[in-house]
Structure 1
Amino acid sequence: MSNRAIPNAFVKNVLQNGLGRYICQLQRVTLNFCKATPSSLGTRDFIEKYLVDFTRENPGTVVYVKPIRNRAPFLVAEYLNGRQERVSTKDMPADEVCKWLEHLRTRSGAQIVNLRKEWLTNTPSIQGVWHPFLNKNPSLAGTSFPAPELYGAKTESKSATDMVLEEAGVKKVGSVDSASSKE
């Protein structure tokens, strides 16, 4: 399929998918098949072998079995957002029908689109995307790592706390000992 046929969009998610638990977006599945044609054999086998297990595992999904005459078999999946997906199961074995049904069950029902970007934010940053070397010196590009001079703690001449304590006349080291000896 051409890229022109698939629309472009940004990343989307099904918001508010249940309060505190997951809600399957697949609402209804209809299995259309013919009772006589050989192209419906895999769908008929799926109905006989796997359909009861599927309905037990997915109690929130309604499953309809609809016999139709002299037509190719297909699945119709209806989602909570109102979209429908149709998959032809002509000449598929029962296992492949099961895989397609599982694929439809795990989808959100949103239309398949080409992504313009792999990320989206409502408040874009003027600065751009953060990376580990964002505010570092460009000379680090030629440095071989590990470099011990980069990992040590930086010591400034005096901190603001040291300046305030110096003006107050209190010694930083041994201030607890001198206070206990005066008592």
Structure 2
Amino acid sequence: FDLQQCCVITSVLACSKQKNKVLHRISPAAGIMSNSHLFLKSAFPRAPLANGVGRYVCQLQRITLKYCKNHGSSKGMREFLENDLVDFSRANPGVVVYVKPRRHRTAVMSAEYLDGDRQWVNCGNSTRDEIRKWVEVLRTQATGPAGGARLRKLWHTDVPSVQGPWTPFTHQHPSTNVAQFPSEELGRVQGQPQTATEVLLEMFKAQQLEGGNKSGKTEGSS
């Protein structure tokens, strides 16, 4: 081999080795990312114990706000405690609020629900508005089988329909199956009140029928 061919072969080998290294680095992470959803349970969205059918009961029962009095990452939590905590407690008397200061620890929210579930939210370096939104999320969400699970569908019913989903032809007369479209009779607007012209035409036709019946009776009597 001459010098030029040797340089080409060495460059190809170097590129293949570098490519194998990159693939070796990426493949484990790619496998984890692609297979992570396989370990999630699948469920349908549903309210615990049919909550909301009668009187709504807030599922959040206790929330604990942990923060540091001096650390900079807890600035947003301290602002929330100073400005918004009292209003939140007044608006939600059924939720018990605990404030727990901790030295040199990041800000954390811990929420406990009626079914015994507990969720944590890391509030380090979060602003006051972000913390207020997270508190609202913890207050309004409901835990249960669908919490932290992969949703199969965005709706669920305990009693599925026997006749299937509704369509515009569900309650129509069977004659529409063999009708020729476009049809003037089927194309009329349904449920529209009669106009004055249509009312007068019906009265005129009724008078004609009455006149025809009277003339027939007189001819028969004569």
TM over 0.5: yes
Q: Is residue 2:93 matched to residue 1:59?
A: yes
Shift, 1:96, TM fit: 1.0
Counterpart in the other structure of 2:118: 84
Q: Is residue 2:27 matched to residue 1:22?
A: no
Structure 2: which 5+ runs fail to align? 1-32, 191-222
Q: Is residue 2:105 matched to residue 1:71?
A: yes
Query: Alignment RMSD, CA only?
Result: 2.8
Shift, 1:53, TM fit: 0.8
Which amino acid in the other structure matches residue 164 of structure 2?
Answer: G
Runs of 4+ residues over 4 Å off in structure 1: 134-140
Q: How many pairs are equivalent?
A: 150
Counterpart in the other structure of 2:148: 112
Q: Is residue 2:106 matched to residue 1:102?
A: no
TM-score, with length taken from structure 2: 0.58
Q: Is residue 2:177 matched to residue 1:143?
A: no
Q: Is residue 2:166 matched to residue 1:130?
A: yes
TM-score, with length taken from structure 1: 0.69
Which amino acid in the other structure matches residue 143 of structure 1?
Answer: F
CA distance in 2, matches of 1:91, 1:152: 61
Shift, 1:115, TM fit: 2.2
Match of 2:46 among 1, 5, 12: 12
Which amino acid in the other structure matches residue 133 of structure 1?
Answer: F
Q: Is residue 2:70 matched to residue 1:36?
A: yes
SS of structure 2 residue aligned to 1:112: coil
CA distance in 2, matches of 1:123, 1:16: 14
Structure with more helix by fraction: 2
Between the two structures, name the one with larger relative contact order (CA 8 Å, sep ≥ 6): 1
Q: Bigger CA drift: 130-139 or 102-111?
A: 130-139
Shift, 1:123, TM fit: 4.1
Kept in 2, the 8 Å contact 1:26–1:109? The answer is no
